[in-house]
Amino acid sequence: MKYRSAFDIIGPVMIGPSSSHTAGAARIGRVARTLFEKQPTRVIISLYGSFAKTYKGHGTDLALVAGLLDFDTFDERIPDAFEIADQVGMEVIFKTEEAIPEHPNTVKINLSDDDKQLEVIGISIGGGAIEITEINSFKLKLSGDPAILVTHLDRFGVISCVTSIFSKYKINIGHMEVARKEKGDTAIMVIEVDERIDDQVIKELKKLENVTSVIRMVE
């Protein structure tokens, strides 16, 4: 299906199915791309529920690929996302799943290249809003930005050190949660704040003992 402009996909107001099936899908794709921290070479996209039934007609497939190319919802290159994916060497495979998800607009994205793999599950909850519900089997809730993800070893005092840096820069935390698979293993902090997070804050967080990565989400 060929679209003449980005408004044919997203729509200027983004209401009804266009906001959840396209704007939301593009944002899920872009979050997955941000979490991967580089352009993947292969992506497997598994669609569930309403996404699986209507993804071609509503442009969900095109929007997801656009997001994976790091395009925002208003990017004029969205109509050419498939062609651009081919140009940059990103192979994309779509699958429809019959399993019934908790939310009708659910997508699982597996990103990979020669040395890295990542699995992200997201839902489009309407009006262009999204939630990331799982990252590499870590159950969590990431819904807004500005936000960061801090991956760390599950050790005493790490959370306190992280929140101390936010306190130092007088950054208010709107939502925070920590997920871990096993005691003493790898854990992930999801931190949503009320203002943009400066580079200096990211640098200080990365220097903390037992912190292995810090990712600032797209804004």
Predicted confidence at residue 39, as pLDDT, reads 96
Which domains are delineated in the chain? 6-136 (3.30.1330.90), 147-216 (3.30.70.260)
Can you give the pTM of this predicted structure? Answer: 0.84
Predicted confidence at residue 19, as pLDDT, reads 59
Taking the C-alpha atoms of 106, 111, 116 and 120 in order, what is their torsion angle to the nearest 10 degrees?
-10
Q: One digit per residue, pLDDT tens: the chain, 219 residues?
A: 444 444 444 443 343 345 556 889 999 999 999 999 999 999 999 999 999 998 888 889 999 999 999 998 888 898 899 999 999 999 999 999 988 888 889 999 999 999 999 999 999 988 788 999 999 999 998 886 789 999 999 999 999 999 999 999 999 999 999 998 889 999 999 999 988 899 999 999 999 999 999 999 866
Name every residue whose Cβ is closer than 8 Å to that of residue 83 and which is 6 or more positions away in sequence.
none
Predicted confidence at residue 195, as pLDDT, reads 87
Predicted confidence at residue 20, as pLDDT, reads 58
Tokens of 33: 């791309």
**Beta strand residue intervals within 57-104, DSSP E:** 91-96
